[in-house]
Amino acid sequence: MPANALRTPLAAALSAVVLAACGTETAPVAEDPTTSEPSGPSSSPAAPSDTAESSPVAEGDSVTVPVYFVGDAPQGPRLFREFRRVPAQDPAAAALELLGSGDALDPDYRTLLPAAQGLSASLEGAGEDATIALALPADSPWLSRGDLSEAEARLAVQSVVYTLQGVFQAKARLSVTHQGTSHAADLLGVPTGNGYSRAPELDVLGLASVTTPEEGATVADTFEASGVASSFEATVPIEVRDASGAVVVETFATAEGWMDRLHPWTTTVDVSALAPGVYTFVARTDDPSGGAEGFGPTEDTKTITVQ
């Protein structure tokens, strides 16, 4: 996420693992829903890689699921995901509530969806016939576009599609109905047609995204950083910046690919020479043209504390 993005209030209208490495307790993370085929749900906490369809990771009475918020990118608003721990009883409803509230851990993320109550979602069927069914109350604010532009409404729909596909670990079409009926409904005023499918990653996701460290993580000496990106020749520049914005650590990661979709990357970052304090971790797409071509680099930043 870009450093200059602004966070909207929790009820404002809405527009890709491994855990944070060192020194802080965080939720177990599910697998990345943006990079390959489903791997099957996990029944125990784990630290899976950034390479498989999102799978809720259980820990006692909670699971960790991906929620796709909105952040700013050179191309305009894009989706960035956070892995969040939610009650295991109904993770879909909890993920949707987080999405609607805009209650992201990262202050650079927001939501284009209005806050809503009474939402329910379920996975129906299997394989190619699977459908994610989202039922909305008759008076749900998610039924109309409100003040959103058409482009914002379509991106908001994609945030719902990507989030629920991650929760259910299925790249299934999303169908929307009114609760208690079988009548198809338009989500945010976007015509439903035969339901809503996932848009191509490069069209709606931020092209560089940090999975770890998480926002607010505490690190020491060296730590593993990870994420996903679609960056020139698979090079993902990495920086740590001090409070003045000066670059105090500079390295890079090499992603597993760089075309067609986002690809996972991981690297080890050495902060052992830094004084204790608050810093900004930055991952971005590579821009060998220096801004002369295209939109320029996409950045995602996380505030970290070095012990």
Residues 80-108 have pLDDT tens digits of 999 999 999 999 999 999 999 999 999 99
67 SS3 class = strand
- Report the Cα 211 to chain-centroid distance in Å: 9
Residue 159: HSE in the Cβ half-sphere, 13 Å Cα cutoff: 37
Q: What is the pLDDT of residue 66?
A: 96
SS3 content of the chain, % helix, strand, coil (to 5): 15, 35, 50
Number of C-beta neighbours around residue 56 at 10 A? 24
Residue 169 confidence (pLDDT) above 60: yes
Percent of the chain topping pLDDT 70: 79
Q: What is the mean pLDDT of residues 142-156?
A: 96
Q: Rounded mean pLDDT of 57-67?
A: 83
Dist. CA 59–CA 121, nearest whole Å? 22
Backbone region of residue 277 per phi and psi (left: phi > 0; alpha: psi in -120 to 50; beta: other values):
left
Q: How far is CA 299 from CA 103, 108, 227, 231, in A?
A: 21, 11, 12, 11
CA 93 to CA 76: how far, in whole Å? 28
Residue 118 predicted with pLDDT over 60 = yes
Classify domain 204-306 at the CATH topology level.
Immunoglobulin-like (2.60.40)
- Cα 276 to Cα 102, 109, 147, 267: the distances in Å are 31, 26, 45, 21
Between 48-52, 141-145, 199-203, the lowest mean confidence (pLDDT) is in 48-52
Residue 7 vs residue 276, higher pLDDT:
276
pLDDT at 40: 31
Backbone angles phi, psi at 204, to 5 degrees: -130, -15
Cβ–Cβ < 8 Å for 201, 257: no
CA angle, residues 238, 244, 246, in degrees to nearest 5:
40
Give residue limits of the domains in the chain. 57-200, 204-306
Q: What's the rounded Cα separation, in Å, for the pair 119 and 100?
A: 10
- Tell whether the model's pLDDT for residue 41 goes beyond 50: no
Note the pLDDT of residue 253.
98
